[in-house]
Amino acid sequence: MSLLEHCTTARLGDRQVKRLGYGAMQLAGPGVFGPPKDPGAALAVLREALEQGVDHIDTSDFYGPHITNQLIRKALHPYPEQLRIVTKVSARRDAQGAWLPAMSPAELTAAVESNLRNLGLEQLEVVNLRSMHGLHAPAEGSLEEALTALAELRERGSIRHLGVSNVTPTQIAEARRLVPIVCVQNAYNLANRHDDALIDDLAREGIAYVPFFPLGGFSPLQSQGLTAIAAELNATPMQVALAWLLQRSPNILLIPGTSSVAHLRENLAAAQLQLPAEVVARLDRWSELNE
């Protein structure tokens, strides 16, 4: 039996996907730049993800750049019918690996074409527009020109659905006036809960919320209280953090990333962890866990 055999599902566009997926960012080299140290291990992680029931992979052609998508194609193409590959656009990398905005219509068109080519697809299931008005956190600024360009590509058939990432509530409202939005991807985890109200609003609208950095990202979640709770449940702290997210709201889809098969299995096993109500209440009071 796969680790996700009994995983609950949520709506992504007009399809249902298992709520625990896989984020491919860590398959690239250090700093999400260049090739991985062990390409064979990267291919093994992708194949194991599908073996364990993953049907939702998050990626981008600016990971590497191009490397991650090329690995996905090499490992998994031709893709199983149930697999949904979600990508994002609006950034590019310079020769040193810096992240630079690429939000003009021409740059977005080129990015969609590059994702299609490197993934070996005729249509992208979901394309997230990542706002580059703020590099590491959402910042206000209109997304109209960029979303209009992506909507035209959707009309041509290159894209099935659109989402937004690294965005404010104002930008989400603007986006929804322009095009149908099927998901929002922002930073969110036990210690970063700025989007609490937004998640609840989106749940009422049937729109998926996909936390990036669900385990803290480049600064992994650490807390003596979290470690103690994990020991009580015979789980790892990261499994508890993922299970809390799954129980936080039914519209949350998770995409924890790793370049290790063992770590992948550990993450996916969080789908089988049911947190008691009193544990959820303690986790909800994150500040108390760190006292």
Catalytically annotated residues: 63
Q: How far apart are CA 105 and CA 78, in angstroms?
A: 30
Do residues 164 and 198 make contact, with C-beta atoms less than 8 angstroms apart?
no
Do residues 52 and 1 make contact, with C-beta atoms less than 8 angstroms apart?
no
Q: How many CB atoms lie within 10 A of CB 160?
A: 16
Of all helices (H) and strands (E), which one includes residue 155?
A: helix 144-156
Q: How far apart are CA 210 and CA 13, in angstroms?
A: 13
Q: How far apart are CA 64 and CA 92, in angstroms?
A: 10
Q: Which of 4, 6, 25 is nearest to 210 (CA)?
A: 25
